[in-house]
């Protein structure tokens, strides 16, 4: 049996694992399976603002360099997750109340990281979780508070200027589950496109519970953004239910529908259920068990590719 990345390579499909904390690479089994199975990776938290830029002008690149070096050595793409999130923002940023100064801080931050990894991180989550979890408006984060809703357009413009060669995504959760939120994201993104904001696509997180996306939803989402000239990707898939056979079923249904819909960039939020290697501690949401044995979810994904 070929590996996922070997199978995906024939079709030009990115098959990735997100949630790669570089310290996991110390685990030889972990890094071996990662490099064998996937052709893309993204950091777990290490690219969030305060993880590498905790005070103004001070950057710690150690963890990110390690990830990028690993990817380069193993011929893997790296997705930059993510430039803006509601969490993980340093005090110095939270204390800026002047919009001009705040925008300057964003520009400095984006430039630093996007210039350093130019040509190495080929696609970015520019804004993650702009909307409230259940929908119903923008997250009232520090960006919204200081810049208003226009922070999203600002962020994409700053990112495009920082690296014109990178693909830029808006990353959102639960839109496959909540129709209202789905429409809300679509309206938001259509507005950006209408305003000529440089955005390339929508990254669906796809943290799935046992309420799986209704058949047809992934296809509809993909088509609706295609009509705007945008790409849809799956960015952080995992399946959080204790019903084992349901996990396999959901992986199969989602991956098959995504591929049929023309999605060519699919990442999971990790790959082993090993304790502490998934944010859903105690659940078994991924394709490999704690001992790195492939599970049913792996085989149905492999078969779908």
HSE-up (13 A, CA, CB side) for residue 70: 28
Per-residue contact string for residues 159-188; x = within reach of ligand XIL by CB under 6 A? ------------x-x---------------
- Nearest CA to 288 out of 247, 235, 231, 229 is that of 247
Q: Which of 17, 128, 248, 267 binds ligand XIL (CB under 6 A)?
A: 128
- Please tell me the distance from the alpha carbon of residue 261 to that of residue 47, in angstroms, as a whole number: 30
* Smallest gap from residue 90 Cβ to ligand XIL (A): 16
Q: How far is the CB of 213 from ligand XIL (least distance, A)?
A: 17
Smallest separation (angstroms) from ligand XIL to the CB of 289 = 19
Alpha carbons 105 and 253: distance in angstroms, whole number: 43
Q: Considering beta carbons, is residue 82 or 305 the nearer one to ligand XIL? A: 82
238 near ligand XIL (CB under 6 A): no
Out of 163, 236, 257, 273, the only residue in the binding site for ligand XIL (CB under 6 A) is 236
Q: Applying CB under 6 A, which of residues 44, 154, 163, 200 lies at the interface with ligand XIL? A: 44
Q: 7 or 129, CB closer to ligand XIL?
A: 129
Are 290 and 271 spatial neighbours (Cβ–Cβ below 8 Å)?
no
> Tokens 């199975």, residue?
37
Is residue 124 within 8 Å of residue 169, measured between CB atoms?
yes
The answer to whether residues 197 and 157 touch, using CB atoms and an 8 Å cutoff, is: yes
Residues lying near ligand XIL in the complex (CB under 6 A) are found at 19, 44-45, 128, 171, 173, 205, 236, 279
């Amino acid at each position: 049996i070929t590996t996922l990345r070997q199978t995906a390579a024939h079709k030009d499909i990115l098959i990735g694992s997100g949630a790669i904390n570089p310290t996991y690479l110390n685990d030889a089994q972990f890094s071996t399976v990662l490099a064998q199975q996937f052709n893309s990776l993204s950091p777990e938290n290490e690219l969030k603002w305060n993880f590498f830029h905790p005070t103004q002008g001070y950057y710690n690149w150690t963890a990110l360099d390690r990830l990028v070096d690993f990817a380069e050595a193993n011929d893997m793409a790296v997705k930059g997750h993510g430039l803006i999130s509601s969490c993980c923002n340093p005090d110095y940023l939270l204390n800026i109340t002047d919009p001009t100064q705040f925008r300057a801080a964003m520009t400095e931050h984006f430039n630093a990281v996007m210039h350093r990894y130019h040509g190495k991180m080929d696609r970015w989550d520019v804004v993650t979780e702009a909307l409230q979890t259940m929908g119903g408006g923008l997250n009232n984060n520090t960006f919204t508070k200081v810049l208003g809703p226009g922070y999203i357009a600002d962020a994409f413009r700053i990112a495009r200027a920082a690296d014109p060669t990178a693909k830029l995504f808006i990353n959102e959760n639960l839109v496959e589950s909540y129709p209202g939120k789905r429409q809300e994201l679509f309206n938001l993104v259509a507005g950006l496109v209408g305003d000529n904001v440089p955005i390339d696509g929508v990254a669906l997180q796809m943290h799935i519970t046992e309420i799986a996306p209704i058949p047809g939803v992934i296809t509809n989402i993909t088509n609706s953004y295609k009509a705007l000239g945008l790409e849809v990707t799956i960015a952080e898939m995992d399946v959080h239910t204790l019903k084992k056979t349901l996990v396999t079923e959901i992986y199969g249904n989602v991956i098959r529908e995504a591929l049929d819909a023309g999605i060519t960039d699919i990442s999971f939020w990790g790959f082993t259920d090993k304790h502490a290697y998934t944010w859903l501690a105690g659940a078994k949401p991924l394709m490999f068990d704690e001992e790195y044995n492939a599970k049913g979810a792996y085989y149905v994904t492999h078969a779908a590719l």
